Structure 1
Amino acid sequence: MPAHDTLFNRAFGAFLFDMDGTVLNSIAAAERIWSAWAVRHGVDVETFLPTIHGARAIDTINRLNLPGVDAEAQAAVITEAEIADVEGIVEIPGAAKFLNSLPADRWAMVTSAPRDLALRRMAAAGIPEPALMITAEDVKAGKPDPAGYLLAAKRLGLEARDCLIFEDATVGIQAAEAAGAALMIITTTHQHPLETAHATLASYADIRVEVDNAGQLHLQKN
């Protein structure tokens, strides 16, 4: 059975969502800020930008191994700049309506962004604030480590295998796989077709959710 069909033939305890690229598109703002930062630090912008998506700022900077650079301090600089610049941030088609249709205690956001930045971007895109949000500050290891997704499931009283994770970026997909959860990949912001065995979705307008008497979530096609 194709992966896409499998997701529509089972019940889930909760849905877990990445933020950037999954429920909102912040690529323009993120790339503006990171490009300027890269130029200041002598980093080749073209090869660097594809590495920023889905990861915590501190992990992105640490990977560069730049001499004399305080990764924690620079991550704070990046975060301040990103909080100040939300121009062009928009929701992924149908995301806000879909999230608003979910029971508040049956979904969570798991993002590599710091909490203040996540709240700012969600407000800019019209995305509802979740009752549970796991952010960069809540984990010692960022994606592709599954810690964030495992923590979200635990706080919802579930195992990750009982959840469906919505993701878009490579490090997030790896984190979802490592958590042992089912996975739906949002392809809206992908510039190139994605080759994957996982289910894919271009717009939340194509799906809806039904909640059974036990509070379990069933994904339905529109």
Structure 2
Amino acid sequence: MHPPMPHGFEKPYAAFLFDMDGTILNSILAAERVWSDWARRHGLDVATFLPKMHGSRGIDTITRLNLPGVDPEYEARLVTEAEIADVGDVVAIPGAAAFLSSLPPERWAIVTSSPLRLARRRLEAAGLPLPKFMVTAEDVAVGKPDPQCYILGAERLGVSTQDCLVFEDVAAGIKAGEAAGADVMVVTATHHHKMETPHPSISSYNEIAVRISAGHKMFVGAKPA
């Protein structure tokens, strides 16, 4: 069982850090179309490969495969261009647009494994606001589950990771948030199977609300019925 959302607004946060794909928008159909084509071209079993590419940078996914004669950097660029060209079916997670709009712009950031151009394209396609602060694939030497990206996101907001709440949807990102020392909220909107997690979870942003204190801290809790 997932832990329930707290009914009060107990813990103050200085900032929120959001993964993008699967967390504030759903790009699964578009991403899986592109990656399926790539996997077939390289003789991979698509059904076995697809679950392994979610939540990681493209270059890390390809590097892990260790395919002979394949240049991960070059192939990752090809995949990115194909993904930028295909944003069909990219939609916002329910309630995400309103939830993000309720936050002070300087108190949240997107921390994504996607390259910057792709991130901007998908946010636009989903009708979501472009954040004031963003960490993308190009900003880190090592991608999730390494915590580097979330540490950098907190630094850009001028806060400690211990004062951040990370919103994530897959294991690699959850591990990155944990390793950074942040609290984690798991978004299950795109999950087909139940994920066992010690963290609180939501299936949409319509379930939660934010209260901002006089000291400019943010408290998250269940939306009043």
Amino acid at match of 2:112: T
How many positions carry a matched residue from both structures?
221
Match of 1:72 in 2: 73
Match of 2:214 in 1: 213
Alignment gaps of 5+ in structure 2: none
**1:6 Cα offset (Å):** 8.9
Aligned to 2:109, what secondary structure does the other structure show?
strand
Match of 1:54 in 2: 55
Match of 1:35 in 2: 36
- Contact 1:61/1:75 (<8 A) preserved: yes
Alignment gaps of 5+ in structure 1: none
Identity score, percent: 57
Distance 2:170 2:8 in 1: 20
* CA-based RMSD: 1.2
Amino acid at match of 1:4: M
Residue by residue over 1:25-80, the C-alpha shift from the partner in whole angstroms, topping out at 9 and shown as x without a partner, is: 00000000000000000111011000110100000000100000000000000000
Match of 1:204 in 2: 205
Match of 2:157 in 1: 156
Query: Structure 2 length normalisation: TM-score?
Result: 0.96
- Contact 1:35/1:49 (<8 A) preserved: yes
Query: Structure 1 length normalisation: TM-score?
Result: 0.97
Aligned to 1:4, what secondary structure does the other structure show?
coil
Q: How does 1:185-204 map to 2 (within 5 A)?
A: 185-204=186-205
Ranges of 4+ aligned residues in structure 1 off by more than 3 Å: none
Aligned to 2:154, what secondary structure does the other structure show?
helix
Aligned to 1:5, what secondary structure does the other structure show?
coil
Aligned to 1:141, what secondary structure does the other structure show?
coil
**Is the alpha carbon distance of 1:109 and 1:7 closer, same or farther for their aligned partners in structure 2, counting shifts above 3 Å?**
farther
Q: How does 1:23-172 map to 2 (within 5 A)?
A: 23-172=24-173
Distance 2:123 2:221 in 1: 25
Distance 1:13 1:166 in 2: 14
Amino acid at match of 1:141: V
**Is the alpha carbon distance of 1:34 and 1:162 closer, same or farther for their aligned partners in structure 2, counting shifts above 3 Å?**
same
